[in-house]
């Protein structure tokens, strides 16, 4: 195989490369020394310099010709008004890179990162990593003089390949760290549901790479608050946030109270405002703000929140001086929001939709109980099998999702004789859950959440929701589809020549993607 020509790209070092008279040959000068390496034959040297160092640049060209006559040195003058300005330096070097012609089949490109300011070296690294310079990095350094004059002057060099796929240990370490961060978001629970694992993978990517708002939807008790806290902890470990985790349920605040709670107020802003209040946005400065049920906020509050997110400033209620806060927003919602807030949206599935994850979550809840109470509780084999069989069956409704599961485990652990949950305790708990789920909750929205996923629920008008809830109530009180139809269409059926109440009800439910069996549970 024909050996490739070595092409070096580097910056002139006004300090390191300088030297006058014969004495300069006794100094280590990196731009010259790179051409003095016995094992490295540089065919072309693209040397970047600033016009005010023209004399030094010409001297370096001449000295390279002395030590390496085979090297073709090409000078390019680039003016850096501020060599410590990242934006300017990167832009100038990017333009230079785009103007170059590289022959990958015939040339090995080495980017010299020993000379120049640290900012210039960083930019050379970034451009090489991004393949604008299609090669590797080369670093040179001097050695101590006890190794001899020639060795001291030439120094040594090291080539750094940025292709991490060639480094198995680094690649495996990155993969392990990423796996650990995803497991961290799942509270260390080895979940088995493929869709949920894929969802957490994506949330982890967005959480690490973006500071834009994240919306978490899903039924009550699906784990939105816990996940938001884990995202905060992950970002804090990565030094992406330094402030606090602040949370509030927006359904508990209305009107001026919402404005005051979020944005703060000044003394005298309204009746009862006896002193200034900083507000949650300022409390979350440099941290993470979790707003559960953010859809309960009015458009005015959402608009002010949007401005605070984009411009990092807002006005406290009754104030005339803007205050500043930089925070990451995570919100829980099932309602429409301003499009600019609704950028990253993830729906957390219900516990029923993750039946295969009930067992690992069961173990997690037992560990949590042990940590809270200082005593370990386990199941007998028979009891564990009995509870899991019920938990994954169609009979288990898990209306409160993980809240129901947590409460169930807590009750059984509390009643476990000698720290061992028996089959009798499980039977008692199953009966308790059946009774609990059979009772009308009085929460119509929660009832619909069990039947319709979040996206479908969002598309249903409030009028239709109220009507649908009334229909569902009648269906659950009736023994058959026909009986429910007769109750619902008692008046209009008298005007029809042939009444098919069951078919009318079946078609009505089908409008919402529901069947009689689903409504009956």
Q: Is residue 333 part of a domain?
A: yes
Rounded to 5°, the CA angle 456-460-462 comes to: 140
Q: Report CA dihedral (237, 241, 243, 249) to the nearest 10 degrees.
A: -100
CATH number of the domain to which 70 belongs: 3.40.50.10770
Q: How far apart are CA 119 and CA 90, in angstroms?
A: 9
Q: How far apart are CA 473 and CA 82, in angstroms?
A: 73
Q: How far apart are CA 313 and CA 78, in angstroms?
A: 39
Same domain, 10 and 151: yes
3-class SS of residue 317: strand
Q: Which two tokens stand for residue 471?
A: 């229909």
Same domain, 193 and 277: yes
Q: Is residue 29 part of a domain?
A: yes
User: What is residue 439's predicted lDDT score, i.e. its pLDDT?
Assistant: 64
Q: Report CA dihedral (417, 421, 426, 428) to the nearest 10 degrees.
A: 10
Domain count, the chain: 4
Q: Which two tokens stand for residue 160?
A: 């750094």
User: What is residue 3's predicted lDDT score, i.e. its pLDDT?
Assistant: 83
Q: Which CA distances in Å does 323 have to 280, 329, 444? A: 12, 17, 41
Domain termination site, one of 109, 142, 162: 162
CATH number of the domain to which 333 belongs: 3.40.50.300
Q: Is residue 447 part of a domain?
A: no
Element of type H or E holding 307: helix 299-311
* Segments forming the whole domain that contains residue 394: 352-438
Q: Is residue 144 part of a domain?
A: yes
Same domain, 343 and 393: no
CATH number of the domain to which 362 belongs: 1.10.8.60
Same domain, 179 and 297: yes
Same domain, 22 and 154: yes
Q: Which residues pair with 214 in a beta bridge?
A: 330, 344
Q: Is residue 336 part of a domain?
A: yes
Same domain, 268 and 308: yes
Same domain, 15 and 155: yes
Same domain, 150 and 24: yes
Alpha-helical regions (H) of 374-453: 381-391, 402-415, 423-438, 444-451
User: What is residue 115's predicted lDDT score, i.e. its pLDDT?
Assistant: 94
Answer yes or no: are the C-beta atoms of 317 and 264 closer than 8 Å.
Answer: yes
User: What is residue 253's predicted lDDT score, i.e. its pLDDT?
Assistant: 83
Q: For 424, list phi and psi in degrees, rounded to 5.
A: -65, -40
Region of residue 204 (phi > 0: left; psi between -120 and 50: alpha; otherwise: beta): alpha
Domain termination site, one of 317, 347, 377: 347
Same domain, 67 and 136: yes
Q: Report CA dihedral (435, 438, 441, 445) to the nearest 10 degrees.
A: 140
For each of the chain's 521 residues, which pLDDT tens digit applies?
A: 468 899 999 999 999 999 888 889 988 999 999 999 988 999 999 999 999 999 999 999 999 999 999 999 999 999 999 999 999 999 999 999 999 888 878 899 999 999 999 999 999 999 998 888 989 999 999 876 555 555 567 889 999 887 755 666 666 666 667 677 778 888 878 888 899 999 999 999 899 888 899 999 888 888 999 999 999 998 888 888 999 999 999 888 877 788 899 999 988 888 777 898 999 999 999 999 999 988 888 888 888 999 999 999 999 988 889 999 999 999 998 666 666 677 899 999 989 889 999 999 999 999 999 999 988 999 999 999 999 999 999 889 898 899 999 999 999 999 998 899 999 999 999 999 999 888 655 444 556 766 776 667 777 887 888 888 889 888 888 878 888 888 888 887 666 666 678 888 988 988 888 888 778 76
Domain termination site, one of 330, 347, 364: 347
The conformation of residue 165, written as its DSSP 8-state character, comes to G
Q: Is residue 48 part of a domain?
A: yes
The conformation of residue 271, written as its DSSP 8-state character, comes to T
Nearest to 277 by CA among 324, 322, 317, 327: 317
Residues in the chain: 521
User: What is residue 150's predicted lDDT score, i.e. its pLDDT?
Assistant: 53
Q: How far apart are CA 235 and CA 39, in angstroms?
A: 46
Instruction: For the full predicted model, state whether its pTM sits above 0.85.
Output: no
For 200, residues 6+ apart whose C-beta sits below 8 A from its C-beta are: 182, 185, 186, 191
Q: Is residue 207 part of a domain?
A: yes
Q: Which CA distances in Å does 238 have to 171, 209, 327, 478? A: 19, 11, 15, 56
Same domain, 128 and 274: no
Region of residue 58 (phi > 0: left; psi between -120 and 50: alpha; otherwise: beta): alpha
Q: Which two tokens stand for residue 484?
A: 């429910």
Same domain, 46 and 144: yes
Q: Is residue 482 part of a domain?
A: yes
Same domain, 133 and 207: no
């Amino acid at each position: 195989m024909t050996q490739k020509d070595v092409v070096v790209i580097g910056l002139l070092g006004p300090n390191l490369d300088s030297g006058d008279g014969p004495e300069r040959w006794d100094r280590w000068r990196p731009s010259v020394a790179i051409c003095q390496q016995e094992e490295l034959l540089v065919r072309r040297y693209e040397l970047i310099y600033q016009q005010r160092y023209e004399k030094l640049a010409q001297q370096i060209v001449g000295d390279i010709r002395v030590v390496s006559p085979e090297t073709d040195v090409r000078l390019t003058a680039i003016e850096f008004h501020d060599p410590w300005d990242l934006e300017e330096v990167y832009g100038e070097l990017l333009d230079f890179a785009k103007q170059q012609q590289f022959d990958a089949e015939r040339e090995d490109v080495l980017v010299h990162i020993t000379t120049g300011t640290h900012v210039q070296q960083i930019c050379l690294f970034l451009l090489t990593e991004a393949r604008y310079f299609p090669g590797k990095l080369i670093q040179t350094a001097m050695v101590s003089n006890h190794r001899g004059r020639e060795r001291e002057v030439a120094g040594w060099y090291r080539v750094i390949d940025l292709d991490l796929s060639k480094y198995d240990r680094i690649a495996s370490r990155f993969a392990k760290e990423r796996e650990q961060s995803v497991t961290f978001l799942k509270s260390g629970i080895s979940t088995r549901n493929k869709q949920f694992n894929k969802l957490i993978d994506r949330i982890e990517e967005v959480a690490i790479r973006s500071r834009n708002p994240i919306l978490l939807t899903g039924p009550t008790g699906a784990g939105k608050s816990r996940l938001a806290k884990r995202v905060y902890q992950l970002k804090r470990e990565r030094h992406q946030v330094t402030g606090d985790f602040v949370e509030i349920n927006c359904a508990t605040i209305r009107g001026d109270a919402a404005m005051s709670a979020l944005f703060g107020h000044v003394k005298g802003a309204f009746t009862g405002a006896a002193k200034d209040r900083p507000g949650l946005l300022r409390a979350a400065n440099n941290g993470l703000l979790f707003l559960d049920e953010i859809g309960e906020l009015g458009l005015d509050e959402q608009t002010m929140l949007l401005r605070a997110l984009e411009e990092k400033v807002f006005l406290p209620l009754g104030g005339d001086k803007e205050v500043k806060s930089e925070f990451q927003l995570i919100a829980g919602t099932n309602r429409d929001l301003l499009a600019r807030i609704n950028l990253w949206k993830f729906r957390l599935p219900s516990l029923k939709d993750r039946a295969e994850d009930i067992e690992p979550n069961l173990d997690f809840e037992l560990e949590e109980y042990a940590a809270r109470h200082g005593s370990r509780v386990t199941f007998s084999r028979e009891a564990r099998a009995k509870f899991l069989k019920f938990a994954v069956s169609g009979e288990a409704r898990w209306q409160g999702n993980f809240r129901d599961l947590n409460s169930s485990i807590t009750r059984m652990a509390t009643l476990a004789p000698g720290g061992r949950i028996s089959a009798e305790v499980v039977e008692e708990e199953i009966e308790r859950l059946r009774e609990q789920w059979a009772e009308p909750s009085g929460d119509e929205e929660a009832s619909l959440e069990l039947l319709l996923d979040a996206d479908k629920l969002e598309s249903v008008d409030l009028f239709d929701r109220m009507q649908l809830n009334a229909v569902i109530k009648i269906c659950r009180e009736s023994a058959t589809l026909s009986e429910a139809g007769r109750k619902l269409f008692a008046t209009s059926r008298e005007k029809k020549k042939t009444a098919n109440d069951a078919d009318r009800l079946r078609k009505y439910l089908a409008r919402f993607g529901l069947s009689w069996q689903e409504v009956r549970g």
